[in-house]
Structure 1
Amino acid sequence: MGSSRPQPFSKEFPLVSIPKKVVVLPDAGPKNPFQYQLVAYLEGCGLDVRKAPSRRFGAVVSAVFRHRPDVLYFDWVQSFILGKTLLVTLLRCLVFVLEISYVTYIRRIPVVHTLHNVQNHAKRWLRLERTVYGWFLRRCDKIRVYSETTRRKIARFYKLDPGRILVIQDVPYHHYYPNQVSRREGRTELGIPDDAVVFLFLGLVKPYKGLEDLIAAFLRLEGEATYLVIAGASDQQSYGESLRRQVAGHPRIVYHNFFIDPGKVQYYYQAADAVVLPFKNVEHSGSVDLALSFGKPVITVNTPLLNGLLAHQRELLFNHPGELPGCLAAAPRFDLAAIGKANFRVVDGANYKNLILLFR
């Protein structure tokens, strides 16, 4: 499972017969490995890929005029249609509808989209979001989802042609993150004893991710041999500080509320016995893929996608937060190393090479 920075994909993937220029929106920035790997994959397949921001009105049309793409690819559409107030959201939605109408009806540019979640995590303006998002999906030439369940669900709910919806997984993260340190090196870095059972949450620290439930569940565990590590930056300083107050002074909770450098991520995963992602609900999570890429068992919510993907470790999936303490307590009784190896095989065998089909 050792890894280094990804090499160009051109030797591994077939080239596109006719080179195309693709504009990716929104630009998630250099710290987003999901989009980094997607762009690297497409470039390795012979596509000319440009990224464009979304943080201003008219971003879509501006990208079209600047780059003159053959295809527009969208990741998180919510950044184009949602604002902090209802008025800003209404304005964003109006501008977005006009822009997509211009792109699809006047410029005739194909639109491709990856559906990460059916609704925004903050649950803001859901009815308006559903209306505008459904309108957008019906104008996409191809839509990518992560499970057959989601494919059937959105085809029925939004009245979409199922033939335009493809189930394709992400490029595994072991093509991106280094993974050369040992378990002992990871634990030395974090100040954790060799004989401890270590649970890890690593990712953006946000309210919808259920970290209060995780802390409460961990505090119910008995014994001195378990540690909890929570690592990642928070986009809401007040929320990050509220969690800091909850764990302050606990000798077996390591709280690193800051961005974890890609080269340091391996220390956290190598130190861990299992990864805990206490989401209340999720369609797809890059954090799950990351845990699998490091060969770790995952304690997380039981969704149709994860129930199928992680069928060999269903005992570690919970249906509601009340079951989380039981999952934590039961985890050490399983062969976690064997589960981790099975998880790595799952993600390493994903059909990510089919991503090029979105652009043919």
Structure 2
Amino acid sequence: MRKPIVYMWPKTSPHNKYSELLTNSIEQNGLQVEHYDQKAMFKPRRGDIVHLHWPSNSYTASAFPLTVVKSLFFALLLLAYRCFGMRLFWTVHNVWPHTGKSGWDKLMRKYILTVCHEAFVMSESVKAEVAATFGVPASKLVVTPHGHYVNAYARKGKDIRKQFGIAPDSFLFLFIGRINPYKGVDQLVEAYAQLGQGGCELLVAGHVDAGYDLGFIDRVNDGTIHLYPQFVDDLELADYLEAADVIVLPYKQITTSGSAILALSHKKPVVAPRLGALGEYVSEGCGILYDPDDPEGLLKALRLSMEMDAKETEMHIAAKLRELDWGRIAGKMIQIYTGTKRYEVNA
């Protein structure tokens, strides 16, 4: 019997190592994976797998009439795959696109979930949210965690503390990633400014969305807040993480955070709100979660993070990373692909 080919949409991404790491693990577990794009549109055969990841670009365009046309084509394509015997899956990385949500997004995402055989979600909380938001049965949503990033980013050996004039013995809070209103950097800066504690510094690094004013940093900066408003290259990412004591992710909204998993992969505790899947990944001992509705929640979490025992924290993180092993995740995902067994993996 011919083994199915997995058409991963996409197989690799320049913005995220997730697809590459998943692909490598699936191939190591015995299935061939091909990149899906327009050139591969007519390649899948009966029994093959078509696995979507970020579908919004496939149904949206610059103008609404074009969006309608593009959406109809996309919907018919998925339906044709289903009718001709391909197996369809979608990993719901985000309940809504990063650009925001709309009625059209809800319509299309509900359709995708309906036409797919099953969908993967990365936590129980996201499973519940997706089922409630789009009215699909929970039995169609399979919980498979986001794998870790251990050894995915090699150190370049750059001394980040020296680059920014951060003392070697300072307790360093780090925010790293895209900087926009939804990431809560303004709340982080405000909370840090209220710490009133010496011996600590804050580094904010990442690409700033056009038009987002970072003047709130200058207004409270006492010289211990450092800003690098540029994209952090993959070759330097590990160096930034290694320089920090704690990674702070003060998101105002989130589904699943690869940044939290990236931090844990470098054995760094995480400070984050109890939102989306964060509570299931930043489990007890791996960091500090706070109530996003508590005005002093982030401030209290920063203080608590400075009191964490390093060795004990590392033990908790190591246990979490064993749960997020890619081989384990890919092997179970393959069984879902082929319909040989149903099961859920909890992060």
TM category (shorter chain) comes to: 0.7 to 0.9
Q: Determine if contact 1:295/1:342 at 8 Å carries over to the other structure.
A: no
Which structure features the higher share of helix residues?
Answer: 1
- The normalised TM-score by structure 2 is 0.83
- Return 246-255 or 338-347, whichever deviates more: 246-255
Distance 1:314 1:38, change over 3 A: closer
Give the Cα separation in 1 of the matches to 2:181 and 2:329: 30
2:56 aligns with: 78
Q: Percent identity?
A: 24
Aligned partner of 1:262 in structure 2 is: 234
**How many equivalent residue pairs?**
329
Distance 1:314 1:178 in 2: 22
SS in 2 for 1:173: coil
State the TM-score, normalized to the length of structure 1: 0.81
Contact residue 189 and residue 267 of structure 1 kept, 8 A: no
Q: Distance in 2 between matches of 1:177 and 1:121?
A: 24
CA distance in 2, matches of 1:304, 1:256: 28
- Answering whether residue 6 of structure 2 is matched by residue 22 of structure 1, we say yes
CA–CA separation in structure 2 for the residues paired with 1:215 and 1:85: 37
Q: Using the alignment, how far apart are the partners of 2:333 and 2:24 within structure 1?
A: 12
- Structure 2: gaps of 5 or more residues: 339-347
Mapped to 1, the partners of 2:27 and 2:180 lie a distance apart of: 32
One-letter code aligned to 1:259: F
The alpha-carbon deviation at position 328 of structure 1 amounts to 1.6
Distance 1:88 1:124 in 2: 18
Cα distance between partner residues in 2 of 1:223 and 1:308: 30
Q: Does the CA contact (< 8 Å) of 1:145 and 1:151 recur in 2?
A: yes
Q: Considering only aligned residues, what root-mean-square deviation do their CA atoms show, in Å?
A: 2.8
Corresponding residue SS for 1:316: strand
Aligned to 2:318: 344
What's 1:52 paired with? 36
Q: Distance in 1 between matches of 2:87 and 2:312?
A: 44
Match of 1:232 among 203, 206, 212: 206
Is the counterpart of residue 292 in structure 1 residue 264 in structure 2? yes
Distance 1:49 1:194, change over 3 A: same
Matches within 5 A, 1:105-254: 105=83, 107-125=84-102, 127-178=103-154, 185-234=159-208, 236-239=209-212, 242-243=213-214, 245-248=215-218, 251-254=223-226
1:334 alignment counterpart: 308
Residues in 2 aligned to 1:309 and 1:175: alpha-carbon distance in whole angstroms? 19
Partner of 1:33: 17
* Cα offsets for 1:227-265 (capped at 9, x unmatched): 11122234x3333xx22x443575222222233233322
Q: 1:149 to 1:319 in 2, by over 3 A?
A: same
Contact 2:260 2:282 in 1 (8 A): no
Question: Which ranges of structure 1 fall in alignment gaps of 5 or more residues?
Answer: 1-16, 54-58
Q: Between 25-34 and 274-283, report the one with greater CA deviation.
A: 25-34
**What's 1:276 paired with?**
248
Secondary structure of 1:255 counterpart: strand
Residues 86 and 228 (structure 1), Cα distance of their counterparts in 2 relative to 1, 3 Å cut: farther
The aligned residue for residue 14 of structure 1 is none
